[in-house]
Amino acid sequence: MTTSWTAFGGDLHLDLTGRRAAGSGLRAALEDALREAVQDGRLAPGTRLPSSRALGEDLGIARNTVVEAYGQLTAEGWLTSRQGSGTTVAERAAPRRTAAAPSGPTGHPAARYDLMPGRPDVSLFPRGPWLAAARRALAVAPHEAFGYGSPRGRIELRQALTDYLARVRGVRTDPEHLVICAGFTQGLGLLCGALRERGARSLAVEAYGLPPLHAGARAAGLTTLPLPLDGSGARTDLLDGRPGAVLLTPAHQYPTGVPLTAERRAAAVGWARQHDGYVIEDDYDGEFRYDRQPLGAMQALDPERVVYAGTAAKSLAPGLRLAWLALPDALVEPVARLKQVADTMSPVLDQLTLAELITSGTYDRHVRRCRLHYRRRRDALVAALAERAPRVRVTGIAAGLHAVLRLPPTAPPEAELVQRAAAAGLAVSSLGWNRSDAALDPVAPPGLVIGYATPTDHAFPGALDALCELLRDC
């Protein structure tokens, strides 16, 4: 019977051809190849090597040649060999590489306390329920689910989201109008590409927002046109015929924390109808309102003019890379086509698991648990500042995972405060970093955007102490 290399255990790529051509004998060539693989770190300490029989079969050489090469390298200290345990790379053989210093958010040196905004407490991720949901989903998933499927996403998740979003956020959609994407960043890129195909050349954005999202829109070929903000949210009454769409955070403006009023919502939808434009509703943390029931999604005002964008990044974890778009008829096909070009489809198992988590009611219970956790965090932040830094104002509604701290005019410049925070072991973000156009808010008082979700429970009191100490003299 012909023996195939596919019949044996762990694969190991070794190229002996060049070494033999250079005049090395077969055993010497094998020793050199193995020694080099260990030296350059390709074979890490503790790596178990194939048996002499398996490696000999793979390389087409005699087993005894492999045995002799292993023996020589063991004698030199590169490998270790024990009866019944096989041959492994010796612990002391590979050079230790110096690890690069870890970096904190947005490239800052690693801080003792991470108070950067937009980040959930990933320790709350429901590992046990997620694993149980994955098992249930795998047990009933059809075989075809693991092949190439629709770029729109698995029907199980699109159906679950249709029901969930209608119940919780008032979204009017159906599975055929939903597209699952790898995070909102990808979703926005797909939307911008589809809008550009339709002739759009610009995207209106809120004067304060997340710079990477605006940069992504520009990378897709759209210029960004900042809209001023006030206590009622974005000035949608100032929209004109230039942009093809407007990107808004109506439930909880990022980062200022104000909701978009009903009049401003109606103005945005009216503009979209009049100018054949679209509103992109980024509902990034709509589940987390603490003082009252959150406002329903703006999308319900006109599903043919408002794109609803939701994500699991805040409610579960950013690492899942799961988000969704509820699209008008005219955008479903172009967005799905661009999604297929981008990455064919989103990972199936995570989609099936999230669908099971939602339909079983586990997702609702998890969100309620997180809501209570984050509300307590915010309450603690507000109380600590009121007592120990009373001249600092916490602005915005009680919602989300961050708060804006408005500082008195006599406070140091934002950049200096951020540097002082870093020296004190705090990673914080300045309000100005989120500003799209300084000319729209030239005399804005200094401010910080503080994320209160990330520190662990045992670290959060220390983070509050360090923050209050930083701001006490402001």
Stretch among 101-115, 125-139, 207-221 having the lowest mean pLDDT: 101-115
Structure confidence at residue 444 as a pLDDT band (50, 70, 90): low
User: At residue 325, what are phi and psi to the nearest 5 degrees?
Assistant: -120, 125
Place of tokens 């990808």: 186
Give tens-digit pLDDT for 153-170: 999 999 999 999 999 999
pLDDT of 440: 58
Average of per-residue pLDDT across 412-440: 88
Q: Is the predicted pLDDT of residue 64 greater than 80, yes or no?
A: yes
> Which has more confidence, 279 or 21?
279
Closest CA to 109 of 427, 451, 448: 427
Q: Which fold has domain 5-89?
A: Arc Repressor Mutant, subunit A (1.10.10)
Average of per-residue pLDDT across 53-64: 89
Average of per-residue pLDDT across 358-380: 97
Average of per-residue pLDDT across 62-82: 91
Q: Is the predicted pLDDT of residue 443 greater than 80, yes or no?
A: no
Q: Is the predicted pLDDT of residue 13 greater than 90, yes or no?
A: no
Bridging pattern class, strands 447-451 and 402-406? antiparallel
- Angle, CA 183 vertex, CA 178 and CA 188 arms, to 5°: 70
Check if the beta carbon of residue 16 is closer than 8 Å to that of residue 29. yes
Stretch(es) of the chain classified as CATH 3.90.1150.10: 106-122+365-471
CATH assignment of 106-122+365-471, given 1.10.10.10, 1.10.3720.10, 3.90.1150.10, 3.40.50.10480?
A: 3.90.1150.10
pTM of the model: 0.84
pLDDT of 60: 85
Stretch(es) of the chain classified as CATH 1.10.10.10: 5-89
Residue-averaged pLDDT of the chain: 90
Q: 140-360 maps to which CATH number?
A: 3.40.640.10
- Cis omega (within 30 of 0) on the bond before 255? yes
Its sign, for the CA torsion 423, 446, 185, 297, is: positive
Average of per-residue pLDDT across 230-235: 94
Stretch among 75-84, 263-272, 395-404 having the lowest mean pLDDT: 75-84
The span from the CA of 432 to the CA of 416, in Å, is 12
User: At residue 163, what are phi and psi to the nearest 5 degrees?
Assistant: -70, -45
pLDDT of 2: 39
Structure confidence at residue 15 as a pLDDT band (50, 70, 90): confident
Stretch(es) of the chain classified as CATH 3.40.640.10: 140-360
Average of per-residue pLDDT across 386-413: 93
Amino acid at 448: L
